[in-house]
Structure 1
Amino acid sequence: MPDMLRIWMRHESRRNERRAALVPEDARKLIASGVHLTVEESPQRVFSAHAYADGGCAIAPQGSWASHCPATDVILGLKELPAEPTNLMHQHLFFGHAYKGQPEAPRLLRRFQAGGGTLLDLEQLLDAEGHRIAAFGYWAGYAGATLAVLQYRGELTAPLASSSSTELRRRLAPGRRGSGVTAVVIGADGRSGHGACDALRTAGIEPTCWGSDDTRDLDRDALLAHDILVNTVGSRRPVPPFLTKADLDNERRRLSVIADVTCDVGSDLDTLPVHDHITDWDNPVERLREGPRPLDIIAIDNLPSLVPAEASRAFSADLWPLLLSLREGSEVWDRCRGAFRHAVASLGRRG
């Protein structure tokens, strides 16, 4: 790493990803601390390039990191990389989702292996006890629960569009189908769980809050007796599933909407293996069961982008102090590098 820490924040290639890993006010703080920061132009980012330039950032054309970013720069993003270049030589920070057995993980890791680069997965920003120290969790839970409530009421329309927390609260205001609705939040004591519970209460629904003690010996009949299920549990080891496909055919099932905020679809750690693909902004809902007792699932993997400004500010506030320690190194980043090295080594053993 050079004496001056150089960070290049890229444009997000996913068309509905409007968040930013760093917001302009926190970019300004990094620059004041001696960091050189380049920000790519992005027509969809909720914050303008002018706002970053006013804070002292260098501005680069959209997508130019692949051809113009110096090899010593750290490339910062949020969601998946574009398909090119196939060989990744830089040090990249983004949510790679590559360490839980996801189907696309080997392809991504081989790109780093081929180019000699490093993935510092933002999902691995953990303290010594394994707790996330920078995450979008609250707004993921809030948005996921909001969509579940709207779907239950018959008010969810597609395609989805990003909004603000004020607008979500307005749409959540208790409606005609609010009386007597029951909802359970699994993982209610975490960031995402808190967000989900806040959204449900805004909708006039007092949630049943389940933590680890409740899932250790899970009562599936009690779970199925709720109208709405919001799953916010991100397990780091295999656990018995909360629901299986067979449970969906239980004659006593009342459950009609699932919001799988965790969205570990296809992973060995998936706690809701009742569907096999994520949903998206164009098609946010998948019908799992038809008939007189229909059951729908929402499994969108960038929920916080529904409230991009609020979600970005919360995440950036957690992230920017950690970025300063990239220059000298820290236990947090050492754990990220260790997770990457382990994953690449495991990839080699699998052939």
Structure 2
Amino acid sequence: MTVLDWLLDSDPALRWQVERDLAGAPPEVWQATRARVAAEGFGARLLSLQDPDGQWAGGAFFPADFASREEKTGQPWTATTWSLYSLREWGVDASVLRGTAELLAENCRWEYHDLPYWGGEVDCCINAWTLANGLWLGADVRGIADWFVEHALPDGGWNCEWVEGSTRSSFHSTINSLKGLLAYHQATGGTEATRAAQRTGEEYLLERNLLRRLSTGERVGEWVNHFGYPFRWLYSALNAVSYFREASLLDGTAPDPRMAEAIELIRAARRPDGRWLQEGPLRGEVWFEIDAPVGEPSKWLTLHAARVLDWWES
């Protein structure tokens, strides 16, 4: 079995992306596979767990019972924001969730100060996912896009700890903020201000080669070459280059040569058989597993890594 055959033997949520991005299948083929995501496999299973009020696990970012139980396994990944994040990334058509945006507007509030769901809150990463999820479901989230313009830091990026007084950007917060703005520009074209914010955020990462401190040139942390899936909020070279690939495809621009070192990290992690190993996602409660155990070949990571290398080498 070739690596491509192995990848194609997957849940529809992954298979349609393999068909489109690696196998060169015509649109009618991968679109037909994508349409199956809501009816079978991961997508259908997660859709079946939605509450009647539009939420998952009864909460916006955390399950409804999170405050009353001792959490020993890390952040739970079962609440509404994370469930929408997964369904959107798997390619579920928004029409399947018709009425969800309205239900969440009525029933869902942020754990932070009981703020209304589609208005976002103060965390950059949370607002980025809410912006992307809202655009997908047809909610009015234009105010969140403007929020990113207003909350960019002087060095060009973002930091979720700005509310605590931080004035230096974070790699994690910046890549997630950029993903939210990219979704906004894919859906609407954006505004001059949001496009400028995206460019300065990208430059923040690129002038650091996606990996290094600007002040000393040292690697920012071991997490840059820790490849685990799902990515969730954690920054890595693979997560970052995956973003830049998607942004490049939207804009029709060539890869920036300052990503070369990050590309080599990704290439170096490829096993002799052409696959990448699961190094471990962030710990926490999940509805169900979607990828290989730690140390085993990961179909999701192999998809992401193979397509960024194809993009870079093309």
Could you state the TM-score of these two structures normalised by the residue count of structure 2? 0.28
- Computing the radius of gyration from Cα coordinates, the structure with the larger value is 1
Q: Which has the higher contact order (CA 8 A, sep 6+)?
A: 1
Could you state the TM-score of these two structures normalised by the residue count of structure 1? 0.26
More helix as a share of residues: 2
